[in-house]
Every structure is written in structure tokens, then in C-alpha cells.
Amino acid sequence: MDISYDTIQLQRRRFSWGPMALYIILGLGGVTMVLPFLWTLLTALKTFSEIMTNPYGLPRQWVWSNFIEVFRVVPFLLYFANTLKITAVCTIGTVATSAIAAYAFARLRFPGREVIFMCYLGTLMIPRQITLVPTFLLMKWLGLLDNHLSLILPGLFSAYGTFLLRQFFLTIPYELEEAAIVDGCGYVRRFVKIILPLAKPALATLGVIALIGNWNDFLHPLIFLNSEAKRTLTLGLAIFRGDVDIQWNLLMAATLLAILPMVAAFLLAQRFFVEGIALSGIKG
Amino acid sequence: MATKVTKRLEAVAGFLFIAPNLLGFIVFIAYPLIASLLISFTDWSLLTPPVGAGLRNYADLRIDTHFWISLRNTVVFTFTSVPLRIIIALFLAVLLNQKIRAIGFFRTVYFLPVVCSMVSIAMMWQWLLEYNTGLINYMLSWAGIERIRWLSSTQWAMASVVMVAVWSSTGYNMVIFLAALQGVPRELLEAARIDGANNWKTFWHVTFPCISPATYFVTVTSIIGSFQVFDVTTVLTAGGPGLATNTLVMLIYQNAFQNFRMGYASAIAYVLFGFIFVLTVQQNILSKKWMHY
């Protein structure tokens, strides 16, 4: 009896469930992530009546023209262009203004530096919603409602970005700049030639966060934009749905088109995205 | 060697460098912060000039059922979705950290929902959770479970919202945890192994403390983000059925831009700020107890 018990124990140890279970769980998780996208694609390829009659099967005919139909029904390219413009300007602006301010906070001495930075820190916790009403009033007063500037101007800078970059700049050894100072480099030169190249990971982090945040913003276009010509993708998609008799196949096609740019950017520049986000968690 | 002139120059340069940023800060953070507080003490419908109202808006909040319902929803949403997000993300990160071959592939797949807008995610899930023709109910029927009214019943609407929120944001937290896990010093793990600790003990006593900064970051950002939930509840359930998934930010939006009660909306915004502030401070205090290397 003892021998058979030992044999069983031995057998159990040799066959380790480990890697197998690992892959199964990860695989299940992966399926959970991907399945909604696949399902959306399948639906987007059916005709409307087929959705009712054959909701769960593969499309009998692959109606790729649904995607074209979306472009016909709403000015999707316009929405895309609008979003691109706003996002590009805001992202570049945020990174630029945060970088130069962070450099000043990290390296240059000027009166009130610490106090001002403390103020920045203090506001990090403030939810953006507090600024909604006053910013809306400001834009109204400036006549910028329903104008892309109402989204761009506030989006040109970021207290969080300044904080993030300043923390990063502080970790760059000063000796590197000292050599440049001896050579007679001014502040701008030092910033551009030494700090910036070294700060690429942090700049990428901020860039990615700003990019995703701006591209996918819904609340602010909802509040500040009115006319169809100014709409962004998120807004356009939400309005596209309508309230009654939803054309699910077209809606799914539109949804896929809406996420396509960011997904494509992500797939092409994965390392950027993932490492950028990872860095923000470590430095944040 | 800094003479007065160079010191002056440095100060000027400093101000120039922060000028655009500071301008933005003053116009888009400092001014709104103060203005919002002042507006919350008025009744203002934009059509007529503001009328001073003292603390009446805040007093009205206390008896406004919409406010309490929205607050309750926001709190429930936060305290169900945040733990789920953290635990699932940590779990997945630990699994991925086990030196498996396809780590890049899985990381990409899990991160995919993060780059999609909440609006599009909500659209996809609205279709998935559809009562008659949705995939989820279909899969339930395989298991012999009756179809659920995910989005139109008060019991399940919040669960649906939480589900979608967790699905879309877990990848983000997972990436952060993964980076933190990869930063745990090898020597510590080996020392624990030599001391005879098994997997669970090693994790709990060595790994988990080492990643505590990341845990803190993920917790705080998740809580702050969850309290501000707007997109998913607006698009997926429109705050419904009834008010079952109406949230604080939705309430602010409704009062400001549908009911034109700017003062009232500002008061709600400040209350929201108050909650976030308290929670963040609390997290800060708690973390001081946990954080050690």
C-alpha cells in the first residue's frame, strides 16, 4: 500500500499543471478581450434583416458595403479629420509646454518656484469636472463655443504632465549639463541638446497618455461642440446610434471604423504605448 | 560663480520657460477652480444674471434625491469596479510574468480595449448585452441559464456597467503591474526561496511589498477615475433604467447643460471634489502604513 501511494505522489509531481493551466487561463482572458471585437465585426458584415434571423452565426454574405454605407450616412472622414486635428495639436502642445516648464522647475532657479510647483501638485487631485462650467462660460464669453479652439486651448497644457516630466528631469545627473555650461551653452541649448534626448521615454509616456485621452474624449466635445461640421469621432459615433430602431449592423461598422485609427496606431507602435504607460506607473 | 547678472538671467529664463504652462494653469485651472466655487454660491441660468444664493445650493443638495441616488451609484460603481480591476490586473500580470513565450502577444491583446474610446466600447457591449440577440445571453442559454435583461433591469444595469468598465481598463493596470513585477529584485526572491518559502508566501511577503508603489498608483488613479465615470454610463445605459446608473458627473452635466442651473451644478462639482480629496488623502495615509521596500 505504501509503495503505490508513493508512486502516485511521484507521478503527481512530474506532471506539473503549471504551464498548462497558465496558458489556459491567459488564453481564456485573451478570448474575453478579443471576442467582443470579433463579434462586432461579424455583426458589421450582416444585413439588417439577417441580424434578426441569424444573430449568432457567420454572415451568409459578407456585406463589406456596410462600411461604405457608414461613410455615406455620416461625414465620417470629417469627424476623423476633426479629431486628428484636435488631438495632434493638443498632444504636441501638452508635451511641449510641460517639457519646458518641467525643465524650469527642475533646473532653473527663479523666485516662487517651489510655491508655484506646490500649487501645481495641489491641483492634480482636482477633477476636471470642476472646471467644466467656468471654462464653458469663458469659451462662451470668447465666442469660441462650437469652435475647435474651445477644446484645443485647455488641452495645450497639463499639470500632471509637468509634474511627471519634472520628476523625470530631476533624475538626470547634473554633471551632464555642467560640461555643457563650461562650453558656454545657454539654457535653451542645454535643454534641447542634453535633456530632451535623454527624456525620450518620459516624453513618450506623456505623449501616449495625452494621445489616448484626447482622441477618446467624449465629455468635452459633447459640451463645447454643436454643429455637425465640428464633431469628433466619439461624438459622431454617439449621435449616429439614434434612439429608436438601432441599425445594429451599421452601428457596429461605424464603431469599428471609429476605433480603427487608434488600434492601428497602437499595433504599429505597441512598445511606445505599453512602455509609456508602464513608466507612468513607476514614476507617478 | 553666479553673479547677480547671471542670477537675474536665470530667473528671467525660468519665467519664460514656464510662461505658456503657467498661463494655461491660471486660465484653465486656477480661474475655474475659484470661479466654480463662487458660482456654486449663486443661482445662475445663463439667461439672467447670477443671483446670490449663499449656501442654498448645498442645502438643496442634501434633500435632493437625484443627488443621493447619483452619489450612491457612483460609490457603488467605484467600490465594485476598482477592487475587481486591481485584483484581476494583478492576477494577470503575475501570470504573464512567468516567462512564457507569448508575453508580448498577450500584453497587446489585453491592452487593446484601453486605446478604444469608452463610447465605442459601450456601443459594442450594448449589442453584446442585448436581451434578444446579444451574444452574452446566447452563451448563457448554452449553460441553461435564463436570459438576463442586462441593460433594462435595475438589478443588472449597474453590474453591466461595472463589467464593461473592468473589461476596458484591466489591461492598463495590468501593464503597470507587469512593469512593477519585473522590477522586483531577483536576490530577494531567491533569498525567500532558499528560506523555504512557497509561492504564496513569497508573493505575499516579498513581491507584494515591492510593488506597493505601483499598487498605490493604480488604486488612487482607479478610484479617482471611477468617481468621474461618465462615458460608459451615458452611452451604455443613459443613466438608466430610470436613475439606476446615473452618476455624479452625469448629474453635473444634466444640471449645467440641460437644466441650466449653473450654480447648482458647480455645487455638485465641489462635492465631487470633496469626495475625491477625502478618498485620496485616506489612500495616502493607508499607503504610508503599507509602503516599505
Give the DSSP letter string of B92-105: HHHHHTTT-TTHHH
Where residue A189 sits, what CATH number does that domain have?
1.10.3720.10
Which helix (H) or strand (E) segment is B52 a member of?
strand B51-52
Stretch B94-114: mean pLDDT: 85
**Any chain B CB within 8 A of the CB of A192?**
no
Backbone angles phi, psi at A149, to 5 degrees: -60, -30
* Contact call for B276 and A135, based on CB within 8 A: no
Please state, in angstroms and rounded to a whole number, the distance separating the CA atoms of residues A271 and A200. Answer: 13
Q: What is the pLDDT of residue A111?
A: 85
In the structure, what pLDDT confidence band is assigned to residue A243 with cuts at 50, 70 and 90? low
Contact A267, A203 (CB under 8 A): no
Residue B159: pLDDT above 60? yes
Q: Is residue B26 part of a domain?
A: no
Based on the fold, state whether residues A61 and A122 are members of the same structural domain: no
Q: What is the pLDDT of residue B209?
A: 83
* Contact call for A137 and B179, based on CB within 8 A: no
Based on the fold, state whether residues A108 and A204 are members of the same structural domain: yes
Residue A283: pLDDT above 70? no
Based on the fold, state whether residues A62 and A87 are members of the same structural domain: no
Q: Is residue B54 part of a domain?
A: no
Based on the fold, state whether residues A101 and A188 are members of the same structural domain: yes
**Any chain B CB within 8 A of the CB of A234?**
yes
Q: Is residue B20 part of a domain?
A: no
Q: What is the pLDDT of residue B217?
A: 87
pLDDT tens digits, residue range B60-81?
888 999 999 999 999 999 999 9
* Sign of the torsion formed by the C-alpha atoms of A257, A259, A262 and A267: negative
Q: Report how far apart the first and last C-alpha atoms of chain B are (Å, whole number).
A: 40
pLDDT tens digits, residue range B178-223?
988 888 888 888 888 788 777 777 788 788 888 888 888 899 889 9
Please state, in angstroms and rounded to a whole number, the distance separating the CA atoms of residues B179 and A275. Answer: 8
**Any chain B CB within 8 A of the CB of A259?**
yes
* Closest CB to B24 among A32, A134, A156: A156
Mean pLDDT (chain B, rounded): 88
Please state, in angstroms and rounded to a whole number, the distance separating the CA atoms of residues A216 and A272. Answer: 18
Domain final position from A40, A67, A94: A67
> Which of A108, A129, A211 should we substitute to test contact with B (largest number of B Cβ atoms within 10 Å)?
A129
Instruction: State ipTM.
Output: 0.86
* Contact call for B20 and A101, based on CB within 8 A: yes
* Contact call for B224 and A259, based on CB within 8 A: no
How far does the CA of residue B2 sit from the closest CA of chain A (Å)?
Answer: 11
Contact A204, A283 (CB under 8 A): no
Based on the fold, state whether residues A62 and A167 are members of the same structural domain: no
Residue A12: pLDDT above 50? no
**Any chain A CB within 8 A of the CB of B93?**
no
**Any chain B CB within 8 A of the CB of A239?**
no
Based on the fold, state whether residues A93 and A211 are members of the same structural domain: yes
* Closest CB to B25 among A120, A132, A238: A120
Domain that holds residue A228: 74-283
Please state, in angstroms and rounded to a whole number, the distance separating the CA atoms of residues B114 and B197. Answer: 36
Please state, in angstroms and rounded to a whole number, the distance separating the CA atoms of residues B235 and B135. Answer: 19
Q: Is residue B53 part of a domain?
A: no
How far does the CA of residue B250 sit from the closest CA of chain A (Å)?
Answer: 10
Q: How many domains does chain A have?
A: 2
Contact A120, B25 (CB under 8 A): yes
Based on the fold, state whether residues A158 and A265 are members of the same structural domain: yes
CA A61 to chain centre: 35
Based on the fold, state whether residues A80 and A57 are members of the same structural domain: no
How far does the CA of residue A154 sit from the closest CA of chain B (Å)?
Answer: 6
Domain that holds residue B107: 66-290
Domain final position from A10, A34, A67: A67
Based on the fold, state whether residues A196 and A253 are members of the same structural domain: yes
Based on the fold, state whether residues A209 and A229 are members of the same structural domain: yes
Contact A204, A173 (CB under 8 A): no
Q: Is residue B32 part of a domain?
A: no
Rounded to two decimals, the pTM is 0.87
Q: Is residue B22 part of a domain?
A: no
Please state, in angstroms and rounded to a whole number, the distance separating the CA atoms of residues B268 and B261. Answer: 11
**Any chain B CB within 8 A of the CB of A154?**
yes
CA distances from A55 to A66, A239, A245 (A): 16, 24, 16
Stretch A100-109: mean pLDDT: 88
**Any chain A CB within 8 A of the CB of B32?**
yes
Based on the fold, state whether residues A63 and A80 are members of the same structural domain: no
**Any chain B CB within 8 A of the CB of A72?**
no
Please state, in angstroms and rounded to a whole number, the distance separating the CA atoms of residues A264 and A4. Answer: 58
Residue A15: pLDDT above 50? no
Where residue B72 sits, what CATH number does that domain have?
1.10.3720.10
Check whether the bond before B241 is cis (ω within 30° of 0): yes
* Contact call for A132 and B269, based on CB within 8 A: yes
pLDDT tens digits, residue range A156-173?
988 888 988 998 888 888
Domain final position from A31, A49, A67: A67
* Contact call for B113 and A138, based on CB within 8 A: no
Grid cell 489585453 is found at B110
Full 3-state SS string of chain A: CHHHHHHHHHHHHHCCCHHHHHHHHHHHHHHHHHHHHHHHHHHHCCCHHHHHHCCCCCCCCCCCHHHHHHHHHCCHHHHHHHHHHHHHHHHHHHHHHHHHHHHHHHHCCCCCHHHHHHHHHHHCCCCHHHHHHHHHHHHHHHCCCCCCHHHHCHHHCCHHHHHHHHHHHHCCCCHHHHHHHHCCCCHHHHHHHHHHHHCHHHHHHHHHHHHHHHHCCCHHHHHHCCCHHHCCHHHHHHHHHCCCCCCHHHHHHHHHHHHHHHHHHHHHCHHHHHHHHHHHHHHC
Q: How many domains does chain B have?
A: 1
Q: Is residue B112 part of a domain?
A: yes
CA B165 to chain centre: 9
Across B1-10, B38-47, B142-151, B167-176, the highest mean pLDDT is recorded for: B167-176
Please state, in angstroms and rounded to a whole number, the distance separating the CA atoms of residues A8 and B8. Answer: 81
* Contact call for B108 and A270, based on CB within 8 A: yes
